[in-house]
Amino acid sequence: MRALSDEFLGCLKSGFLSGIIESVRRDPDFNLEIRDSYINVYYKGNSLLKLAEHGGSRYKAEIHEKFLDGMNLPLVFSERNIAKFLRAIPLLKHNIVKNGKRSLKLNTNK
């Protein structure tokens, strides 16, 4: 069963992570999926954000390096820095579009 902890769910519903949920609700191109103890937010088939609990009301984000081009974002979210991520969403979306691919896969042929 795919489930989030009560604390994680509470932060998403009404806590400091609720801005992520609001962004997903406002943008029809976003898709939020619950995985095993983490969430993924997809945009145009790409994972814009993977977010998992990191302990002590902190959450670890994974964002593909190509999407972070031109940004210096914290990858451990807390109440102090979540606003920086939320303000960066339009640039993350731009970087996904600029990349020009439906999805990113790691090249293992090197």
What pLDDT is recorded for position 3? Answer: 84
Residue at 1 is within a domain: no
Q: Into how many domains does the chain fold?
A: 1
Residue at 71 is within a domain: yes
Residue at 28 is within a domain: yes
What pLDDT is recorded for position 102? Answer: 60
Q: Which domain holds residue 62?
A: 6-99
Q: What share of the chain is helix, strand, coil (3-state, %, to 5)?
A: 35, 25, 40
Residue at 108 is within a domain: no
- Among the residues of the chain, which ranges form H helices? 6-13, 18-26, 82-99
pLDDT tens, N- to C-terminus, the chain (110 residues): 568 999 999 999 999 999 999 999 999 999 999 998 999 999 988 999 999 999 878 999 999 999 998 899 999 999 999 999 999 999 999 999 988 566 555 444 43
What pLDDT is recorded for position 110? Answer: 37
- The pair of structure tokens assigned to 92 is 């993350």
Residue at 44 is within a domain: yes
